[in-house]
Amino acid sequence: MTTTRTRGCLNDSQARLFTRFLFLGLAFAVVAGADAQNVNFDKTFLPPVIGPGSVSTLQFTVDVDNSAGSGVEDVTFTDVLPAGMTVAYPSASTTTCENGVVEAPSCGELITFSGARVGAGVSCSVSVNVTATAPGTYVNTSSDLTSSAGNAGVASAELTVSTDRPGFTKSFSPNTVSFGGRSTLTITIDNTANAQSLIFLSFADNLPAGMTVASPSNASTTCENDLIPATLNAAAGSSVIDLFFSGVATFPAVAAGGSCEVVVDVIGGAVGVLGNTTGNLLYDSSAQESSGKAGAILTVSPSPFAFTKEFTDDPVNPGSTVNLEFSITNLSRAEAATGIIFADDLDGVLSGLESTSGAQSDVCGGGTLTGTSTLTLSGATLGPGATCTFSATLQVPAGAAPGRYGNVTSSITGTAGGFGVVGGPAADDLFVAASGPRLTKTFIDDPVSPGSTATLRFTIDNTNAASSLTDIAFDDELTTFLPFPVSVTFPADGFCGAGSSMTIAFLGTDRQGLTLTGGNLAAGQSCTFDVVLDIPSDMPSGTYVNTTSVITGLVGGAEEVEGGPASDQLEIIAPPSFRKAFSESVVAPGANVTLEFSLIHGPEAPGDATAIAFTDDLNAVFAGLVASDTPLTDPCGPGSQLAGTDVLSFTGGSLAPGAECTFSVVLSIPAAAPLGLHVNRTGNVTAMVGGMATTGNIAEADILVTPLTLTKEFTDDPVLPGGTVNLEFSITNRSATESTTGLLFTDNLGGMVAGLASTSGTLNDVCGPGSSLTGTTFLIFTGGVLGPGESCSFSAAVLVPAGAIPGTYANVTSDLSATIGGGQFASSGASDALVVQDPNPERSLVLSKEFTDDPVSPGSIVTMQFTVSYSGQGDATAITFTDDLEATLAGMQATGLPVNDICGAGSQLTGTSLLTLAGGSLAPETSCTFSVALQVPEGSGGDFNNTTSDITAQVGAEPLTGSPASDDLIVEAGGGRTGSIGDFIWNDADGDGIQNDAAASGIGGVTVALNAGACPGTPSLTTTTTDDGAYVFTDLVPGDYCVDVDENTISLFGVPPVLTTANEPLTVTLSAGERFDTADFGFKPFPVANSPVSDLPQEYALEANYPNPFNPTTTISYDLPQLSEVTLTVVDVMGRQLGVLV
């Protein structure tokens, strides 16, 4: 039997039969149980309708109701896809279910899920990409979902493949490259089966980790028309490709029955299988429906060398020069590579292409680079993990035809550890442009400050000395560094030949840029023009890169040519940001209020901000508003000052990058201040930053001047559902001369909690004769009267509905309105929060303890630390526990007791051999920590367990009990106490040097040596890490030791690791009894992509494959995306094992 592989998928019919047989076996293994009433199982296709050959995500959802009380274990199901539907390539299978395992081999029909745990009230999902080509509706029903709770039934959903939308596919060519190699990604939108044209297209493709857009990207698309171009973004070095086109019916992106492509070059920058799936393709300008996703895989092969090359400044014109740069990295961390050799046939790329750099010596540690039409590196040397970069200048022949020229070196070879090593070739494409447009750009007036303008100057040269250049065009997205929307001043039309113009183009959601069209230049001519950009006043300091698209045109009105993009940096230097606030937003005439200023100098600033200044005209707010405590000296740096009374002037401020200052001044509100809302605005803040004068924002704050204040309070909450709470209102007239009449406000209680209502009925004369508070769920206060300086308070009993959900509810009244001095006036309303308690709250009281400085010697002092933590509703009081020291170690006693107020006011810790905490108290979600010194008696050593009593407390009238706390006291007899050295050897997958994060996992089986003396030391002890990467050396006497990791015993993805933490080997000076537990070392593998298990066949069998005259031998071959272990088992006709090959 012969098995072939298509796109990495098994296509043998027996593999499909085996898949179905496997499912049946699994299905019969499920034991039916009682219905799992609390477990919900569902599935859906996202999107539910796709075009032929597109990809949809099949998503399963497992949901456990809160009423379940506890989670479920061993969640398991299988799903056989209907005929014609297969798992996509790549499958991109994922799950959010704890401990769940998804198996979904690409191009197969079986999805299995097992081993998951789902907590009560938790919902989790399982996702697998699937695809189908034939039009129709595919009904997909899973097996029963089983778990520790029983049988939750099946899940079913439908996927429709429709020809009323385009197919969406992608591919890589080649689909396997060496590390750093270039591949062409082609994304196809296939509308051949659709009778309708496509007038709207949009998709985004986020490349996987380790894959980036190449430089140059050679991005192009046919998904457009002659009148309306598409916007294709594929910036070199980025990881995002997106297309946007919006046309009209007469000028669509793709005609009915047609197709189009997006082509972009990418670089494989991580060894392994790089699965890449786009987002959904949106089409049709009216509904913007989805046609599904597209997926493909690029395989990147490992190499003993990371060997890359790049033409750094192409496209180039015929007759010009181009720089060719090589980079070589020795991936071994243990062995140097010597005798490194490769050759690069330049003439074979483009006849006449030659190096003009001559022979170069001392290249890569003593190597030489020679040759003109063929470059040869020989004799190079690289130490373990070392990198070298070198380049040559090449002359492009004057007669070179425009085009793309692939350049691939020979394999790179060398010697490492006495053995020959061979790495893959390096490749890049040389792009030769026709003599055409050359675009340059520069910000001519940077650095600039926020709130100012920046002038962007463009120059276009027609490098063709014989022909004119017409239809010149390019785009320049501005929202890559400026916020949307942008503000721009354009040059007058005709700035680059008759018919040239520049406009703002909308490039997608919240994206804008410049678009030049209609440029015309005679042979050899150029044009220069300026565009002025408005810089927002709140733009932070920084250096911002702005890069255009390629520039295109027609030579002689017929031949399409293009030039490379142009780029420049804009430096923005901002002054400190500035804000202000009143300490009270509502004040009375004649009162005082504090005005606070804050200045913040961003950490990204290029230097100190000096000469910071601003003014604040208080008189402009209203006459008579003055500062009463100025001047302020040194409020924001030495020599700074805030001076003035009615006009404040701040000068001389200074701040370092990342620093801020806050200062305040007291303002007096005149008794005759006009009532109402007033705005206080400063002038712009100014400063010198990096030797440049900058101007920043203004600061403003609102203040309401009113003699009236309204407050409210739920005075006795928290309250239980069904209980009653007192709601108190207070109104004060702070005017010394004016009376207030017609006081009015409302309070919508029912809008806060449905059914919340006053039970007090109508309350009369509560705030002056004729006033009243009426209503139940909607309270209305009317007719209030207050004389100068008077106030009133009144309350209503409010009933909380029995069905109210526990929580905190904000309650805000309307504004308070009144008549003052014959005029109508409104003041701000009042607010408070009502807390409704849970009638059955969960509470916990936790006691923990630790001997913080053992091991100790007999007769010494040891510190014992306690921590008491409380969570729940209501305060915990009368907290108490005991600790019998005598029962732990005869003669051990506490010193320095009693101690008061150690866990709340009035608490006390007493005793000598029996410790007692009494009178402790804690508010909800708080804790207390306290320590006591214990005298250890003389005598023999040992480990002594110390356990407290239960800890108890009162919460209101209810008792609360917590478990005892326990710890072991280690007493080491004699004067020569021994210590230990150890920690972890771990895989620092993300290279951040942090051990305790989600990306860190231990490495088992690593040999660690402990040498006597400072490093390198004398060999003494060795050990091997456990499965979780832990190791420890014990019974060590004081002195110097050297910890040395044998990196040859570390295998990370089959390639040498890279140390990411402290220096290794590590010298440790160990004191008597010390436990040195921070000798950890992180190692990062060379960048390797994760190969999803589901994308590789896990098992394959050849049955009844016995030798015979027609089949004398059997050959089994396989390709793996990364170094892996394959086990081959051979059995005879009786099923007896004959041999195992690994």
- Assign 1091 a pLDDT band (cuts: 50, 70, 90): very low
Most confidently modeled of 63-67, 635-639, 998-1002? Answer: 635-639
The whole-angstrom separation of Cα 460 and Cα 516 is 11
- Assign 272 a pLDDT band (cuts: 50, 70, 90): confident
- 489-512 pLDDT, tens digit per residue, is 999 999 999 999 999 988 888 889
How confident is the model at residue 938, as a pLDDT?
86
How confident is the model at residue 421, as a pLDDT?
84
- Assign 622 a pLDDT band (cuts: 50, 70, 90): very high
The whole-angstrom separation of Cα 963 and Cα 71 is 24
The whole-angstrom separation of Cα 521 and Cα 501 is 14
For residue 210, give both structure tokens: 């380790």
Domain architecture of the chain: domains with CATH: 5-161 (2.60.40.10), 167-301 (2.60.40.740), 305-432 (2.60.40.740), 437-572 (2.60.40.1530), 577-705 (2.60.40.740), 708-836 (2.60.40.10), 844-971 (2.60.40.740)
pLDDT at position 163 over 60 = yes
Mean pLDDT is lowest, of 355-359, 511-515, 881-885, 982-986, for 982-986
- Assign 848 a pLDDT band (cuts: 50, 70, 90): very high
Mean pLDDT is lowest, of 179-183, 889-893, 1089-1093, for 1089-1093
Average pLDDT value for residue range 378-385? 92
Contact (CB, 8 A) for 1055 and 331? yes
Average pLDDT value for residue range 286-298? 84
Mean pLDDT is lowest, of 165-174, 216-225, 436-445, 1059-1068, for 1059-1068
Q: Nearest-CA neighbor of 952 among 969, 964, 943?
A: 964
1090/883: higher pLDDT? 883
The whole-angstrom separation of Cα 611 and Cα 613 is 6
In whole angstroms, how far apart are CA 1136 and each of 654, 738, 997, 1132? Answer: 85, 108, 47, 5
- Assign 381 a pLDDT band (cuts: 50, 70, 90): very high
The whole-angstrom separation of Cα 957 and Cα 1076 is 49
Average pLDDT value for residue range 325-341? 89
- Assign 1123 a pLDDT band (cuts: 50, 70, 90): very low
Q: What is the pTM of this model?
A: 0.44
Calculate the CA 445 to chain-centre distance.
35
Place of tokens 């081993």: 115
Length of the chain: 1142
Give percent of the chain with pLDDT exceeding 90.
50
Contact (CB, 8 A) for 769 and 828? no
DSSP assignment of 107-120 equals T-SEEEEEEEEE-T
Can you give the C-alpha Rg of the chain in angstroms? 39
66/1111: higher pLDDT? 66
The whole-angstrom separation of Cα 372 and Cα 363 is 16
How confident is the model at residue 664, as a pLDDT?
94
Task: Classify residue 770 as left (phi > 0), alpha (psi -120 to 50) or beta.
Answer: left
How confident is the model at residue 20, as a pLDDT?
31
- 300-331 pLDDT, tens digit per residue, is 877 788 888 888 888 787 878 899 999 999 88
Which residues sit opposite 1093 in a β-bridge?
Answer: none
Contact (CB, 8 A) for 303 and 179? yes
- Assign 807 a pLDDT band (cuts: 50, 70, 90): confident
Average pLDDT value for residue range 21-36? 33
How confident is the model at residue 961, as a pLDDT?
94
Helical residues (DSSP H) of 423-514, grouped into ranges: none
How confident is the model at residue 13, as a pLDDT?
32
- 710-744 pLDDT, tens digit per residue, is 999 999 988 989 999 999 999 999 887 888 999 99
Q: Nearest-CA neighbor of 877 among 919, 911, 846, 917?
A: 919
Indicate the DSSP class of residue 1094: G
Amino acid identity of residue 724, one-letter, is T
How confident is the model at residue 1136, as a pLDDT?
46
Residue 24's Cβ-side half-sphere holds a number of Cα atoms within 13 Å equal to: 6
First-to-last alpha carbon distance for the chain, in angstroms, is: 22
pLDDT at position 531 over 60 = yes
How confident is the model at residue 841, as a pLDDT?
78
In whole angstroms, how far apart are CA 856 and each of 509, 691, 928? Answer: 67, 61, 26
Contact (CB, 8 A) for 625 and 618? yes
Average pLDDT value for residue range 46-60? 95
- 647-661 pLDDT, tens digit per residue, is 999 999 999 988 999
- Assign 74 a pLDDT band (cuts: 50, 70, 90): very high
How confident is the model at residue 33, as a pLDDT?
33
Average pLDDT value for residue range 1080-1098? 59
Residue 745's Cβ-side half-sphere holds a number of Cα atoms within 13 Å equal to: 25
Residue 508's Cβ-side half-sphere holds a number of Cα atoms within 13 Å equal to: 17
Average pLDDT value for residue range 412-433? 85
- Rounded to 5 degrees, φ, ψ at 14 are -65, -30
Average pLDDT, the chain: 85
pLDDT at position 408 over 70 = yes
How confident is the model at residue 1055, as a pLDDT?
56
How confident is the model at residue 314, as a pLDDT?
80
Mean pLDDT is lowest, of 19-28, 113-122, 210-219, for 19-28
Give the 3-state DSSP-derived string for 683-701, with helices as H, strands as E and coil as C: CCCEEEECCEEEECCCCEE
Stated as kind and residue range, the H or E segment containing 403 is: strand 403-408
DSSP assignment of 816-858 equals EEEEETTEEEEE---EEEEEEPPSS---EEEEEEEETT-SB-T
Average pLDDT value for residue range 824-835? 86
